[in-house]
Amino acid sequence: MTEQAATETFADLIACEDVLMFVTAAITSTGQREFHHGAAEQRLSLDFLHEYVRTNYRELYAAALALGVNDHNAATIIVGLLRHAADVPPDRRRAEGALIARRLERMPQHRVHGVFRALRRAKVNNRRTRAIARDWFAARRDPAFDAVKYRAGVRDAMRHAHLKADGELGAFLFTRATAGRFTTPLFESWRRAHFAADALYDLPYTVAEGFAAEHGVPRGVFLQRIEPRMTRLERLRLQESTRAMKKVTAVNEHADLAAMGLTRLASYVLGLSLDDRAARRAELTGALRAAARRTAGAAAGTWGRVAAVLDDSHSTLGSGAKRRRPLAVALGAHHLLEALAAPGAYTPLWTSGRTDALLLYPYGPTPLGERVLDALETGPEQLVIVSDGFDNAPPGLAGEVLRVWRTRLDPGRAVAVTHLNPVYDAADFDVRRLSPAVPTAGIRDAEDLATLTGLARFAEGRLGLADLRAHLDEQVARFLAAPR
């Protein structure tokens, strides 16, 4: 360790800081509007970070794909790596290529088409890019379904990457719908849907919706008949709107809350009216608890005494683009921490002072300092703070309390304190920190809570660049070796 400390230079420290800053930003920000900052500020700030890290630490930049960076940033990283590849040695390109291919596999399909479209717009069409597109298309399980659902995207990407469309795919993508019959059933349904309203119920929901509008099918009839074709998320999304319209009940019965991800489920719950939540209390709480237990997995019950300070102030409203996202993350974290803590040893403290987690809505100021004090008084082993860091009642009190706590009352670090922040602060190129005494990490999905508390160790500055590299290498290896 002493040897390593000696070789650790100032530049290494800065590199470590820069990379962590980038990873935090790439996990948290989606370039969308937040409560405090507009979309343009977010994008400007994020694009700068991308360019800065890509130019200076290209290797670590690529490795970020293996971490839990969100899809928006993964797409930006991939496009950036492929656009600026002129003086990268072949072995690095191979390593990057493996990461890119792996990440593309995991991304939702429309995001991948977004990447291809961005590459096309940037006029990037080298051999490597074409190979990546070829391999991605080759790995798709159901090309016919993809082609119907994302026809324009598939067509543009195949044309751009000079890919050969086998069999009827070429005719489907590149000729007019009226040209002639197909033998592939899905293609044939798509062709027939142009003329016959009956045929559209074999198509994916999003495609059928357009045809239904064209044929003037009443919305209620359409939803009822297309229901088996909906994906799980489409069903969830439509459940409430159809209920509000009093159209169909069929959609309701099949919405599968138990299989939802924790944060998505929390967002869904917070989108319901308070009356609905109260009426469906057992069902919703059960689903949230089940999702949290599933996420916690083997780690359930191992964290000992846990206290959480959770932000439900007015600013957790998020923005039109990220509606109630910060509150949803806090609600997800609340249930996850309950599962991680030893049974009965979990204390949640919402900033508003409310105690019923199901009936939350963004309200009031953010008295983080007082709540942190309340939490410390319960004598926890772990203290997790989920907040956007705009501590304003009074401002800066949480930082002061944590500083004094660390220096005077708990210099031995008996209590592990972590601050998780769901909001990227465009002005600081980082998430807002409460205090230098406490590690802060960005969080986008409550599911990542456990891994992020691990990453937050680096932010505390006690581990150096070598440790960070080792951590990233390990993550990359695990990412590439993970089963498909």
397 binds other proteins (CB under 8 A): yes
Strands (E), 306-429: 306-310, 346-350, 382-386, 416-421, 424-425
Cα separation, 291 vs 258, in Å, equals: 7
Tell me the three state secondary structure of residue 467: helix
319 binds other proteins (CB under 8 A): no
Of 60-68, 146-154, 254-262, 404-412, the segment contacting other proteins by CB under 8 A is 404-412
CA neighbor of 360 nearest in space, from 322, 320, 331, 390: 331
> Which position among 150, 205, 346, 405 is part of the footprint of other proteins (CB under 8 A)?
405
Burial class for 273, CB neighbours closer than 10 Å (0-12, 13-18, 19+): exposed
Considering the complex, what minimum distance in angstroms separates the CB of residue 436 from other proteins? 14
> Which position among 297, 321, 407, 473 is part of the footprint of other proteins (CB under 8 A)?
407
Considering the complex, what minimum distance in angstroms separates the CB of residue 403 from other proteins? 7
Q: Which ranges of 183-231 does DSSP label H, i.e. alpha helix?
A: 185-193, 205-215, 219-226
Backbone angles phi, psi at 253, to 5 degrees: -65, -25
381 binds other proteins (CB under 8 A): no
CB nearer to other proteins: give 41 or 188. 41
Burial class for 166, CB neighbours closer than 10 Å (0-12, 13-18, 19+): exposed
CB nearer to other proteins: give 204 or 367. 367
Q: Count residues binding other proteins (CB under 8 A).
A: 28
C-beta of residue 418 within 8 angstroms of C-beta of residue 453: yes
Sign of CA dihedral 71, 73, 75, 78: negative
394 binds other proteins (CB under 8 A): yes
CB nearer to other proteins: give 274 or 470. 274
395 binds other proteins (CB under 8 A): yes
355 binds other proteins (CB under 8 A): no
> Which position among 272, 365, 460, 463 is part of the footprint of other proteins (CB under 8 A)?
365
Cα separation, 148 vs 63, in Å, equals: 34
CB nearer to other proteins: give 266 or 376. 376
> Which position among 29, 315, 435, 453 is part of the footprint of other proteins (CB under 8 A)?
315
CB nearer to other proteins: give 255 or 373. 373
364 binds other proteins (CB under 8 A): yes
> Which position among 396, 433, 457, 471 is part of the footprint of other proteins (CB under 8 A)?
396
350 binds other proteins (CB under 8 A): no
List the 416-421 sheet strands across, edge first: 346-350, 306-310, 382-386, 416-421, 440-442
CB nearer to other proteins: give 147 or 375. 375
305 binds other proteins (CB under 8 A): no
> Which position among 156, 276, 400, 460 is part of the footprint of other proteins (CB under 8 A)?
400
- Looking at residues 7 to 36 of the shown chain, list those that interact with other proteins (rule: CB under 8 A): 35-36
State the amino acid at position 417 in one-letter form. V
C-beta of residue 316 within 8 angstroms of C-beta of residue 362: yes
- Looking at residues 35 to 54 of the shown chain, list those that interact with other proteins (rule: CB under 8 A): 35-36
State the amino acid at position 159 in one-letter form. R
In three-state form (DSSP H/G/I as H, E/B as E, the rest C), the secondary structure along 58-104 is HHHHHHHHHCCCCHHHHHHHHHHHHHCCCCCCHHHHHHHHHHHHHHH
C-beta of residue 366 within 8 angstroms of C-beta of residue 392: yes
Considering the complex, what minimum distance in angstroms separates the CB of residue 320 from other proteins? 12
- N-terminal to C-terminal alpha carbon distance within the chain: 38
Cα separation, 419 vs 442, in Å, equals: 9
Tell me the three state secondary structure of residue 178: coil
175 binds other proteins (CB under 8 A): no
436 binds other proteins (CB under 8 A): no
- Looking at residues 77 to 116 of the shown chain, list those that interact with other proteins (rule: CB under 8 A): none
Considering the complex, what minimum distance in angstroms separates the CB of residue 297 from other proteins? 34
Of 176-184, 245-253, 393-401, 433-441, the segment contacting other proteins by CB under 8 A is 393-401
Considering the complex, what minimum distance in angstroms separates the CB of residue 174 from other proteins? 49
Omega of the bond leading into 343 within 30 degrees of 0 (cis): no
404 binds other proteins (CB under 8 A): yes
393 binds other proteins (CB under 8 A): yes
Cα separation, 215 vs 193, in Å, equals: 9
376 binds other proteins (CB under 8 A): yes
370 binds other proteins (CB under 8 A): yes
307 binds other proteins (CB under 8 A): no
Residues forming contacts to other proteins in the complex (CB under 8 A) are: 35-36, 313-315, 363-366, 369-370, 373, 376-377, 392-397, 400-401, 403-405, 407-409
